[in-house]
Amino acid sequence: MQKRKLGKSDLEVSAIGLGCMGMSHGYGPASDKKEMISLIHSAIDRGVTLFDTAEVYGPYVNEELVGEAIAPFKEKVVIATKFGIQMVNGKQVLDSKPEQIRKSVEGSLQRLKVETIDLYYQHRVDPNVPIEEVAGVVQDLIKEGKVKHWGLSEAGVESIRRAHAVHPLTAIQSEYSMMWRSPEEQLLPTLEELGIGFVSFSPLGKGFLTGKIDKNATFDSSDFRSIVPRFKSENIEANQVLVDLIQAIAEEKEVKPAQIALAWVLAQKPWIVPIPGTRKLERLEENLGAAEVELTPEELHALNDALSKIKISGERYPSEYANRVGR
């Protein structure tokens, strides 16, 4: 597996990481813990070194799963986790107050069975706590040896600049794929200017770009996609044109659609690391194979030209979640 450095930092990770959320949160009922530990071990065997989780996934159980799985490999892998979202009466509540950050980091260290968190993200910007205050607390945690690197998830450019001025950010995490190219407008140029790495979640459009979801798809009530406008039947049908484009290129290059979608993300910048999630070994191997798929400059140009003519239907978040991003 090829390696990439996140921005100007010294944090080097596998070119493709593994998003672990879906193993126990967000995409239907949790999978068998032993099977998921085995899958994480398979990823490590295949050279994956970046594993992404969060306190709120479950909550807590996803960190416990990752902690147990990587226990024998602590020195070989990089664990990213997140603070800033608490579950209160079954609802997600933003909370990045200093005392909560300190409480969160202690819980994450315990569940992950580590002494230091490699990469610690603020999960969403908390409008009630100045980002400088958050950065100051994390800076203290870094001085105390509890955190090595920090980042922000789904943050706006202004927040990124303000946070970075207090203590340099190693990475920003946001959704980015052929289906969601908004980061190209302001986010990616800002990260390039500041020397910050970019970790792309949902690089397969929450599974849509694999070509395995059609207008007749149904989602369990515990599957986040059941409330996402993008996954309403009429939007799935309208967006099929994108899947058709990806499938045509995949057939031409004799690879899988998911590999084209991931290769496209990798080709954008050398400091972008996608973290597709999966529960299946077959999908894991397919996703990792994308690192070997090369899109020539000519192919990329033609592909981007085709993408620019496709209008994606349906928002990527329901309104209750949409107002928490880009702050």
Looking at residue 65, what DSSP letter applies?
H
Count of other CB atoms within 10 angstroms of residue 322: 12
- Angle of helix 33-45 relative to helix 61-70, nearest 10 degrees, comes to 50
Cα 32 to Cα 57, 93, 278: the distances in Å are 16, 28, 13
Residue that is written with structure tokens 């450019």 in the block = 157
Cα 239 to Cα 13, 117, 232, 305: the distances in Å are 33, 39, 11, 17
Which residue is catalytic, options 57, 60, 120, 121? 57
Q: How many CA atoms lie within 13 A of 24 on its CB side?
A: 23
Whether 27 sits among the annotated catalytic residues: the reply is no
**Cα(121)–Cα(54) distance, rounded to whole angstroms?**
9
User: Any residues with CB less than 8 A from the CB of 26 and at least 6 apart, and which?
Assistant: 57, 223, 224
Q: Could you report how far apart the first and last alpha carbons of the chain are, in Å?
A: 34
User: Any residues with CB less than 8 A from the CB of 69 and at least 6 apart, and which?
Assistant: 36, 37, 40, 41
Catalytic residues, which ones? 57
